[in-house]
Structure formats: C-alpha cells, structure tokens
Amino acid sequence: MADPETLERYRYFLPITTRWMDNDAYGHINNVTYYSYFDTVANHYLIHEGGLDIHTSPVIGLVVESRCTYRAPLAYPDPLRAGLRVDKLGNRSVTYGIAIFKEGESQAAAHGTFVHVFVDRQSRKATAMPERLRTALERLVMG
C-alpha cells in the first residue's frame, strides 16, 4: 500500500460537513460516500475557480474512472476537509488526486483519484476543455 497522503500534497481544500446518513450500519462513513465527497470537491473547484456553469456550459466533465484507498474510519459528526490537486492534465481530461482529512489531522483518512473527460454537452464527444477551466486546473498541478 502506498504511503499515506498528507496535507502539503494538496493545493485546494473544501470543508465537508458529514451527515447522519453518511454513517452505515457499522458506525462509520460508508465507502460509497467518499466518492460523493470526491465529486463535490472537484466540481466545487470547476464551478468556483474554473467558471463551469453546470446548467449551460457547452463543455462538461464526465467521470470515467475513480479509485479510493481507505486508511482510517471517519464517522458523523466528524468535520472533514477534502484536498484537491491535479496529477495529470491533458487537453480533454484531468486526473485529480483527492484526499479526505479529519479536521485537525495531517494524514488522509482516505485518498484516491478521479478522472474527468470533457465532452460536448449535446454530442457527448470528447472535446478540448475551455481555456478558463484549463487555466484554473493548471494552478493545481503538482510539480
């Protein structure tokens, strides 16, 4: 298993408020909920920093791959932070590195990757991402 992810490996952070329904029968946040957190931080960044209008933009991002490694349990009402970076930036796709941190912790409780391919909203064919979006994503590329 890879080394744990730490805060300094991420460039953008979003607070995540856990909800009672995030817990499963075992008393911790259910594994599928982490993918919702991944989706939330990536799209928050695209909307607020990249200018993506989820209702009208002619180019949208579709998830084509995701993966998550779980390292420590989290549970409601833990306050969390999602960290976001760009691991690979192409002309039509981006691979994010995303980690979920319990507030006050420097090691991720879960981390993974999330891949968006940008497509024409109508045809769903891959297309180059808009310049403003690409510029925003370039700010998250880790050297």
What domains does the chain contain, in order, with CATH numbers?
7-138 (3.10.129.10)
Contacts of 65 (CB under 8 A, 6+ apart): 113, 114, 115
d(CA 132, CA 134) in angstroms, rounded, equals: 5
What was the pLDDT predicted at 111? 97
The tokens describing 133, both together, are: 């979006």
d(CA 121, CA 140) in angstroms, rounded, equals: 25
Helices (DSSP H) in the chain: which residue ranges? 31-48, 131-138
d(CA 108, CA 118) in angstroms, rounded, equals: 28
What was the pLDDT predicted at 94? 98
What was the pLDDT predicted at 58? 97
Per-position pLDDT tens, the chain of length 143? 567 799 999 999 999 999 999 999 999 999 999 999 999 999 999 999 999 999 999 999 999 999 999 999 999 999 999 999 999 999 999 999 999 999 999 999 999 999 999 999 999 999 999 999 999 999 999 87
The tokens describing 88, both together, are: 């690979």
Using DSSP's 3-state secondary structure scheme, residue 116 falls into strand
Residue 93 CB coordination number (10 Å): 18
